[in-house]
Amino acid sequence: MMFDVEKIRKDFPILDLRVNGKPLVYLDSAATSQKPLQVLDAVRNYYLTSNSNVHRGVHYLSEQATIVFEKARKTIASFINANPEEIVFTKNSTEALNLLMYSYGMSKIKEGDRIVLSEMEHHSNIVPWQQLAIRKKAELSYIPVNKEGILEENAFSLMEKASITSIMHISNALGTINPIGKMAPLAKENSVFIVDASQSVPHMPIDVKKLGCDFLVFTGHKMLGPMGIGILYGKKELLEEMPPFLFGGEMITEVHKYSSKWSTPPQKFEAGTPDVGAVIGLAKAIDYLSSIGMENIHSHEKELVSYALETAPENVEIYGPKDSSKRAGILSFNVKGIHSHDLSTILDSEGIAIRAGNHCAQPLHEKLGLPGSARASFYLYNTKEEVDALWKGVEKAKKLFGV
């Protein structure tokens, strides 16, 4: 299928907005993506025609809601080559990682066990494991990042004695694509390998079996879906062993005055009423992405980031791999003499939306000796003209600051 960005943009009315009198240039999809009409219509249609609680009623609306809800689970599972019973619905990647920390970590980790992360992790993939290490008196180790923003492969051996390794697939701050396929086999037999795929599932083809991970998490709002829906993929045998994370309705088969019995996965981990509309919206987002082709989307973003690297103005320091083949469509940078927050404010006056700060990756910025950085992130609806607008806005900021 031919990739037609102008046709794609017509599905996103928000891109026609004007900000401060200027056309909106949205370069913050790593924080959250915009939503196409097809997704918005799917959520609206659910509330108009099928709104009901799932799994609980035998009336028509409840049955219809349950059918579309479980059909959505199959769509999501197929997208990453998993089985439906291996897909657990959460609110976001953060909740999915916390579920793993509580359900797997608290039941399996013992004093002295090793937990391995990397220095580039998002706070959501650091803080839960910090808390587990503190509570269980476990050892917390980090795979270092070099000056180019690439993991030091000679430190991958840390994983060989780890009980848990949890690594992001793509850095939300640098765009670095980590060699997950090379890392997964290094985990020892009695450990688990967790992948935070929040920045990869939305942007490139993902097959959990080929990755070799035990668990994988991602979030719907970064991939054209609604907010409030995240996914935990887990191997069936591991989910069956794990105790529940939350307790209440939906996750039980029997409740008596002094005892209860849990459902099987994935329902065991889905206590309470789910956000059915968000689940349906995510499935529709996946249909939309699949119709365009994940390889096409990945290639388009690589073309954009390559173009951005080639056309960057003087005095712009870009972080992460210099080789565009090793990075996704994320570009973090600073302009010498301008604080990233000031730069973001000036760009906003030009209608350009970027992120500024530490991008929930403070340890990484500390390692690189940076107080923060500006970040432009690209998606399927962005164009080279928008890259030009970004650098034009940077040139305006340089003139204002005299740098």
What pLDDT is attached to residue 150?
Answer: 97
What pLDDT is attached to residue 324?
Answer: 86
% the chain with pLDDT above 70:
100
Which domains does the chain show, CATH number per domain?
A: 5-28+294-401 (3.90.1150.10), 40-290 (3.40.640.10)
What pLDDT is attached to residue 322?
Answer: 87
Mapping DSSP to helix (H, G, I), strand (E, B) and coil, where does residue 178 land? coil
- Number of H helices and E strands in the chain, helices first, is 14, 17
Active site residue 213: no
What pLDDT is attached to residue 119?
Answer: 98
> For the chain, which residues score pLDDT lower than 70?
1
What pLDDT is attached to residue 187?
Answer: 86
Q: How far apart are CA 14 and CA 371, in angstroms?
A: 32
**Active-site hit among 25, 360, 361, 376:** 360
pLDDT in tens, 75-97: 999 999 999 999 999 999 999 99
What pLDDT is attached to residue 380?
Answer: 98
What pLDDT is attached to residue 1?
Answer: 54
What pLDDT is attached to residue 56?
Answer: 80
Peptide bond into 202 cis (omega under 30): no
Among residues 275, 280, 274, the alpha carbon closest in space to that of 73 is found at 280
**Cβ 132 vs Cβ 115: under 8 Å:** yes
CA angle 185, 191, 196 (to 5 degrees): 70
The one-character DSSP state at 300 is H
